Amino acid sequence: MGGVHPPENKLAEKQAIERLEPPKSVAIPLAQHLGVPAEPVVSRGDQVKTGQLIAKGEAFISAHIHSSVSGKVKKIDAVTDASGYRKKAIIIDVEGDEWEEGIDRDEGLQKQCDLDAKEILEKIHNAGIVGLGGATFPSHVKLNVPRGKKAEYLIINGVECEPCLTADHRLMLEKGEEILVGVQLQMKALGVKKAIVGIEQNKPDAIQHFTKLAKDYEGISVQALEVKYPQGAEKQLIKALINREVPSGKLPIEVGCVVHNVGTAFAVYEAVQKNKPLIDRVVTVSGSSVKKPSNFMVRIGTPVSALIEAAGGLPEDTGKVINGGPMMGKALNDLEVPVTKGTSGILIFTENEASRPVEQNCIRCARCVTICPMGLEPYLLAPLAEKQRLEECEDERIMDCMECGSCLYICPSAKPLLDHIRVGKTRVGKMIRERSA
Amino acid sequence: MKVLTVSGSPHYHAKESVSSLMYGVIFSLIPAMLVSFYFFGLPAILITLTAVVSCMFFEFIIQKYLIKGPITIFDGSAIITGVLLAFNVPANLPLGLMVIGSAVAIGMGKMTFGGLGKNPFNPALVGRVFLMISFPVQMTMYPEPSAFTTQLTDVLTGPTPLTALKDGVTQGVPVSEIMAQLPDYGRLLLGNMGGSVGEVSAIAILLGGIYMLIKKIISWHIPVAFIGSAALFAALFWLINPEVYPDPVFQILTGGLMLGAIYMATDYTTSPMAPWGMIIFGVGCGLLTMIIRFFGAYPEGVAFSILIMNAFVPLINRGLKPKRFGEEVNNG
């Protein structure tokens, strides 16, 4: 159902992942995940080691946070993050790179694991792993199937349908075995027998590589998927792989699925097999004007400006810098914001690429209706949201919108459909909460 | 520090714009235009030019002096209205009437509702129906096709196949006898028959339609539903009594059915938004067309049927929603 075909522009797909050295100072936000922010367990002046727990996420939906560097806690203060808001972060001045004991830094593949499901879950929880595809939902919560539900499939998202981004693609090529071990660990934690890795057909090398590797892993199969956006959206991916529709307002577990990104599977591998908490991730830096489109393995908390510098510096004619992909990413107004667990890419647009076409009257061409992957009617929702007719918005299922941006992308009149729908969703969400309160 | 643009996602936008779509439609009309210029000669060229220029002129005047807003006469929509209006009249219609028709199409059909995207009825059809009711004599003097004619006056006129049929059937002549007098299907397919400027050549219109489908300017729903339902309805009556009702192929190849189904009923603004809505709309157009042809006073019913269905579009949009993801889930 639906979908669009934006230009892929995967400029960095041939660039091997490059490890970036820790910067002089990092800012590690306490809210890098969906849910309750973590509580700091260090204070100003403390010495910390790389991989040391610095903030605890004890709430039901929260995640632990570890220091990505070694050094001294300078302060705990509000810094601007990618959302544009100022949020609390632990700022650490880097001194050397001394790692916490017990972390196995050897690159060798570690396949064997004798832990049981509970112990694996515990390790995932302790490592502060969240969904690295962008939604940053705490992984241990997802892997802990609620009572009364049963997981049947573990679905591994290697779709990377956002244009420009190549982080998952490179990780699949370079850390294929590790990812598959991670998948196996997650299967064990969930108690499922079947896992499917979904990869878009525009990554034939990754499909080939994984198909070959997966032969040695029982229960894991690889499936090539049609190239279209948003093929990698959770509900769309489940539909494409096993033809089940997650009911409106429900989670994938409703149809017996748990979905994890390939990056998350790699993080699980590192946490369980190497005792390494989530302190770094792959970030694509790309754009038509970028000198050296790259994929970097970056420590969490590194300022975005350091990544841009490593990719050849900020081009003269830059008009926009985006945190994430071009379809769902957020435009930044400050290049000192830190890389967080959810940062998949930093995109640089030229001045010409930075602005939207001029808005015109809606001609009711029905393109937004045809392409909406959720079967909604953006042409109708946007004006309803604009006029704050919230009950009608709710009836027209505004809350089903996942903000993929396809409607605004395709609109020949360049109507700001998603802008209005997004604001409408916030208002309808508030209305629903107040009603049930 | 550098000033960066901050805007909501998405940050990509498709290349398609309102005018690229409109000019796509105009491009697809070229085969039909060439055929009509061939069969109806210079008068067809003049009437098309007059309609296009008048439509753009009236839109300009209204936008500049009445609405006092931006001028959008080059977005392609006024050109389409002009071309389609010209396609819907006899080639030798007096040019003055064409100017009046254009004023009605653009003024009453489009601008009075707020311009592009706001009009409930297809502007070209509003213009055509106005002309048909106000100037019935001039609007039914169809010139006989003759290759590359430059003759502007004293043109030989004759009935369209549909008029001939209606007159014959009314007088009780069996269909088989009427058909013997009419051009064969090969000629009808090419467009070698009396009729409005652009409606005659089924094959040229089909070609344009296929182009628009490939370029995804239109979707298949409305044309298929329109032509399919008209053909089924016609076939039913033909099977019951072939002496009064001609076969469905004849129905499809004559009159404005192809032009209506592919170009007039698919007008974005005046057709439904969801796939099932489009199908219901198309079926409504097809059935009404045949009902008017069979039982109405007019020999042709395409224009009226589309306008009637236009009026139902808001209701159709309200009642027929696209299939929501995860609404009725059957995962068994």
Model confidence pLDDT, tens digit, residues B92-143 = 999 999 999 999 999 999 999 999 999 999 999 999 999 999 999 999 888 8
Query: Which of B1, B9, B219 would best serve as a mutation to test chain A binding (most A beta carbons within 10 A)?
Result: B9
Query: What CATH number should be reported for the domain holding residue A289?
Result: 3.10.20.600
State how far the Cα of A297 lies from the Cα of A293, in Å rounded to an integer: 14
A73 in the same domain as A42? yes
Sequence-ordered list of residues with C-beta below 8 angstroms from that of A136, at least 6 positions apart, any chain = A32, A33, A34, A130, A340, A341, A342
**Residue given tokens 């169809």 in the structure block:** B142
Q: B214 in contact with A at a CB cutoff of 8 Å?
A: no
State the residue range of the domain holding A340: 280-354
A65 in the same domain as A41? yes
**A13 belongs to a structural domain:** no
A388 in the same domain as A347? no
Model confidence pLDDT, tens digit, residues A259-271 = 999 999 999 999 9
**DSSP, res A255:** G
Residues on chain A touching B80 (C-beta within 8 angstroms): none
Can you give the pLDDT at residue B330?
Answer: 60
A144 in the same domain as A267? yes
pLDDT at B180 over 90: no
State how far the Cα of B304 lies from the Cα of A402, in Å rounded to an integer: 42
ipTM: 0.90
Classified as helix, coil or strand, A430 is helix
From A97's Cα to the closest Cα of chain B, the distance in A is 32
Phi, psi of B67 (to 5 degrees): -85, -30
**A199 belongs to a structural domain:** yes
Can you give the pLDDT at residue A338?
Answer: 96
Q: Contact at 8 Å (CB) between A156 and A198? A: yes
**DSSP, res A400:** G
Q: Contact at 8 Å (CB) between A315 and A348? A: yes
Model confidence pLDDT, tens digit, residues A312-337 = 999 999 999 999 999 999 999 999 99
Last residue within a domain, chosen from A63, A94, A125: A94
- How many domains is chain A built from? 4
Domain ranges of chain B: 18-139, 159-319
A66 in the same domain as A135? no
Q: Contact at 8 Å (CB) between A373 and A3? A: yes
A256 in the same domain as A138? yes
Nearest to B331 among A235, A255, A329 (CB): A255
**A4 belongs to a structural domain:** no
Model confidence pLDDT, tens digit, residues A71-102 = 999 999 999 998 889 999 999 999 999 999 99
Nearest to B9 among A327, A332, A413 (CB): A327
State how far the Cα of A288 lies from the Cα of A80, in Å rounded to an integer: 27
**A156 belongs to a structural domain:** yes
Q: What is the pTM of this model?
A: 0.92
A176 in the same domain as A81? no
**A2 belongs to a structural domain:** no
**A14 belongs to a structural domain:** no
A261 in the same domain as A126? yes
Residue of A nearest to B6 (CA): A331
A225 in the same domain as A130? yes
- What is chain A's Cα-based Rg? 21
Can you give the pLDDT at residue B219?
Answer: 95
pLDDT at B50 over 70: yes
State how far the Cα of A233 lies from the Cα of A155, in Å rounded to an integer: 12
**Residue given tokens 């129905």 in the structure block:** B251
Secondary structure, 3-state, chain B: CCCCCCCCCCCCCCCCCHHHHHHHHHHHCHHHHHHHHHHHHHHHHHHHHHHHHHHHHHHHHHHHHHHCCCCCCCCCHHHHHHHHHHHCCCCCCCHHHHHHHHHHHHHHCCHHHCCCCCCCCCHHHHHHHHHHHHCHHHHCCEECCCCCCCCCCCCCEECCHHHHHHHHHHCCCCHHHHHHHCCCHHHHHHCCCCCCCCCCCHHHHHHHHHHHHHCCCCCCHHHHHHHHHHHHHHHHHHHHCCCCCCCHHHHHHCCCHHHHHHHHCCCCCCCCCCHHHHHHHHHHHHHHHHHHHHHCCCCCCHHHHHHHHHHHHHHHHHHCCCCCCCCCCCCC
**A223 belongs to a structural domain:** yes
- Those of residues 40-69 in B touching chain A at CB distance below 8 A are none
Mean pLDDT estimate for chain B:
92
Model confidence pLDDT, tens digit, residues A209-244 = 999 999 999 999 999 999 999 999 999 999 999 999
Q: A10 in contact with B at a CB cutoff of 8 Å?
A: no
A314 in the same domain as A264? no
**A167 belongs to a structural domain:** yes
Rounded to 10°, the helix A167-174/A204-214 angle is: 40
